[in-house]
Amino acid sequence: MNRRELMLLLGGAMTASRSLRAQQKPMPVIGFLSGGSSAPYGPLVAAFHQGLSEIGYVEGKNVAIEYRWAEGRYDRLPALAADLVGHKVDVIAALGGTPSALAAKNATSAIPIVFSSGDPVEQGLVASLARPGGNLTGFSILAAELMSKQLELLSELLPQAGMIALLVNPNNPGTERQTREVQEAARAKGVQLLILKAGTKDEIDTAFVTLVQLQAVALLVGADPFFYSRREQLVALAARHTLPAIYGWRDWAAAGGLISYGMSFAANYREVAIYVGKILNGTKPADLPVQQPAIFELVVNLNTAKALGLTVPPSIPARADEVIE
């Protein structure tokens, strides 16, 4: 092969390489929107990554993720959602409940959105669970519906309880539904319900002072991304005031909370990621029905019960999915 033939061959190879690169699609980008904080949500982000890997996506390898955290400031969510839209992400994972989902919905009607939220029909996110329509689909976490069961568990744990406190975040659009569900359950049990509101770290401290002053004997913590981010503070305050408390997810009991009942939050984040992967693979959100959790976890921390001087009825550990001793 002479020099002229070699140059022609190399030139053709370079042209083919440039053509191939031009045909390759850019790496897709996922917008990750949450009302919570990054550090406390670390295990859930790991579950999200696991779900992505199960459908063939690995961050930094064949997909990029733009993270936006509201740090409990739900009023920041609209701007964060708009920022993701401005970055032209391919799909938005709106995690952390109804506030994130509504912010994403209001920011775009074109970019696909996968949410994890309370009642998505009641909140106006989708037309129906089976046929969501539009650019949204996702998972209903049944947060409000499960809180009546949580109050029943507290009543079983403390059958003589006259007053139980409910802690909710007034900044969460789902708070009204949560409060209504618990009020109905309290009336059915003949229990007086004290409703306390907290949307900041300091307001959580103040709420505990109030419930102790008013002699509430137990606490139900509402389902809320901000509360999840502050779970160490909430668990510590319950221990300091010797107050039995129930929470919505296993992570609370693992952190030293007395008892939790609800869906697996980690499983939910994994499932959201799988839906995100399916959309990246070409499935339309309207063709993915909104799903509800089928498995619920009851976790009891007997170490915490002992520290509280509380005798747990055998019926509760007997049906628990996990007992921490």
Interval 37-81: pLDDT, tens: 999 999 999 999 999 999 999 999 999 999 999 999 999 999 999
Give yes or no for residue 82 having a pLDDT over 80.
Answer: yes
* Rounded-to-integer distance, Cα 104 and Cα 22, Å: 32
| Alpha-carbon distances of 127 from 67, 117, 216, rounded to whole Å | 28, 14, 40
Determine contact, residues 41/230, Cβ cutoff 8 Å.
Answer: no
Say which residue the tokens 């409990």 belong to. 72
The count of domains in the chain is 2
Number of Cβ within a 10 Å radius of residue 152: 17
In a domain, 13, yes or no: no
Q: State whether 193 and 309 are in the same domain.
A: yes
Q: If you average pLDDT over residues 297-314, what whole number do you get?
A: 96
In a domain, 272, yes or no: yes
Q: State whether 190 and 307 are in the same domain.
A: yes
Beta bridge partners of 291: 139
Q: State whether 245 and 129 are in the same domain.
A: no
Give yes or no for residue 20 having a pLDDT over 60.
Answer: no
Instruction: Please give the model's pTM, rounded to 2 decimal places.
Output: 0.86
Task: Spell out the SS3 assignment of 220-242.
Answer: EECCCHHHHHCHHHHHHHHHHCC
Each residue of 165-198: pLDDT tens digit? 999 999 998 899 899 999 999 999 999 999 999 9
Q: Label the pairing between strands 259-263 and 296-301.
A: antiparallel
Which H helix or E strand runs over 201? helix 201-213
Q: State whether 34 and 134 are in the same domain.
A: yes
Report residue 105's pLDDT band, with 50, 70 and 90 as the boundaries: very high
Q: State whether 166 and 95 are in the same domain.
A: no
Q: Specify the length of the chain in residues.
A: 325
Q: State whether 187 and 274 are in the same domain.
A: no
* CATH assignment of the domain containing 102: 3.40.50.2300
Q: State whether 57 and 136 are in the same domain.
A: yes
Domain that holds residue 237: 143-263+297-324
Q: State whether 103 and 220 are in the same domain.
A: no
